[in-house]
Amino acid sequence: MFEPLYTAAEMRAAEAGHDVEQLMERAGGAVADEILARYPDGRSFAAVCGKGANGGDGRIAAELLRSAGWEERSLGEADVVIDALFGTGFHGAPREDAAQQIRAMNRAGRPVVAVDIPSGVDASTGEVPGEAVRASLTVSFQGLKVGHEVAPGRLYAGDVVVADIGLGPVETEHALATPAILELVPRRQPGDTKYTAGSVLVVGGSPGMTGAVRLTAEAAFRADAGYVAVAAPPESLPVIETTLLEAVKRPLDDVWEAAERAGSLAIGPGLGRERQELVRRLLAEIDLPAVVDADGLYGLEPIERRAATVLTPHSGELGRLIGEEASWIDAHRLEALRRAVDQFRCVVLLKGEGTLVGAPGEGPLVCGGYPALATAGTGDVLTGVVASFLAKGMDGRLAAAAAARAHTEAAVAAPHKAGLVASDLFETLPSVLDA
């Protein structure tokens, strides 16, 4: 359900008390074995090795390849390049001589196999402050590192395989939420009514943006909610009536009455940025679990709530909330997540490549992400899934993590990836939860 993600410090703790030479022999052997298995037609290699233990791992791998009959060649001539320049302890930007070596590996036009972590990627944060190797394959030891799963580092790692080098487990702060987390989502049981199965109230849908509430409401149903109501401006209701069959529709002024039968709120899809006061009042006066997205996040201020609260920003929205540019958020995703959690004291789901979930007093979770989801409306779908899981009684952190995982798995299961649109996820969400 949760796979550990190691930082450099946690790896040092795992290695404490072990014979360093033995660990290097096992690590180098694992790299050589993986290269021989992955590139059976290869006959030559180039190795770029640093001075530390990571470089030692690379040199051992190189010697084993020579023993297997491979020849060592220059970067441009080798069948495979071994990147053993920096290990998990590296942080900061590479110096110019190292940066030149990294650029040379990237320009060689050959598959690059990174030893433990691509050089230039911070293993503990996923940050890439300078030049970094773009690996085709990374052979990681003991377990996945934070930098393998958190962007931008995950974009450099290529395929990642984990090799056992004989270390015992240690407790980690970060974890990867696997598809097994979906086992925690309550399903409808005998005796359930449409309300006890999960009742969601979606608030949004201003003119010109009615599609957002339609996507959120439909997603809540597909994520197994039994009842969904939509509160929208009166002028939007005729359009919503014709595009959304199963949900109950209410004018926005009736939102307080509609909330009386709800188990959770989904605030913001297509709401319009001018309704900041309504968002504040809903969160302050209605004691229900709530997910806040899109226009609901605009101008949002921290507010104390007893009920679970989940914010689901993308990098631009989170940047506005904590006073940073979107580019800074993309480069420092874990730090941005922590700042947002500290500021708002609630669950924060940071969308994007390697979706992150943070909560007060809890370690961050990495919960999937898939390139095909980079299309308009998928965030509205995710909001509906979170709202459904909250209405079913899940706590905020697990509801957010499970929703992000279901969102990813639904995209993976879609029959086509190119040209995927948000509503395609409606066909695969139920099967993901049935699995």
Number of H helices, E strands in the chain: 15, 18
Look at residue 242 in the predicted model and tell me its pLDDT.
94
- Using pLDDT thresholds of 50, 70 and 90, give the confidence band for residue 169: confident
Residue 179's pLDDT is 97
pLDDT at residue 21, as a whole number? 95
Q: What is the mean pLDDT of residues 18-28?
A: 97
pLDDT-derived band at 368, boundaries 50, 70, 90: confident
Report the alpha-carbon distance of residue 43 to residue 97 in Å, rounded. 29
Instruction: Give 45-103 as a DSSP string.
Output: EEEEE-SSHHHHHHHHHHHHHHHTT-EE--TTT-SEEEEES--TT--SPPPHHHHHHHH
| pLDDT (average), residues 177-182 | 98
pLDDT digits (tens, 9 = 90+) for 52-77: 999 999 999 999 999 999 999 999 99
pLDDT of residue 351: 97
Measured between its terminal Cα atoms, the distance across the chain in Å is: 14
Indicate if the pLDDT at residue 31 is higher than 90. Answer: yes
- The pLDDT value recorded for residue 382 is 98
**What confidence score (pLDDT) does residue 172 get?**
98
Once rounded to an integer, what is the mean pLDDT over residues 343-356? 96
Measuring CA to CA, which residue among 383, 380, 381, 388 is closest to residue 194? Answer: 388
Q: For tokens 């509609």, name the residue.
A: 258
The mean pLDDT of the chain is: 97
Distance CA 261, CA 31 (A): 58
Closest CA to 87 of 29, 139, 26: 139
Give the pLDDT of residue 312. Answer: 98
CA–CA separation, 204 and 116 (whole Å): 46
pLDDT of res. 369: 86
248 in Cβ contact with 229 (< 8 Å): yes
- pTM given for the model: 0.96
pLDDT, mean of residues 29-34: 98
Tokens 């390049």 belong to residue: 81
Name the residue with tokens 């529709």. 249
Q: What is the DSSP string of 242-297?
A: HH-SSSEEEEGGGHHHHGGG-SEEEE-TT--GGGHHHHHHHHHH--S-EEE-GGGG
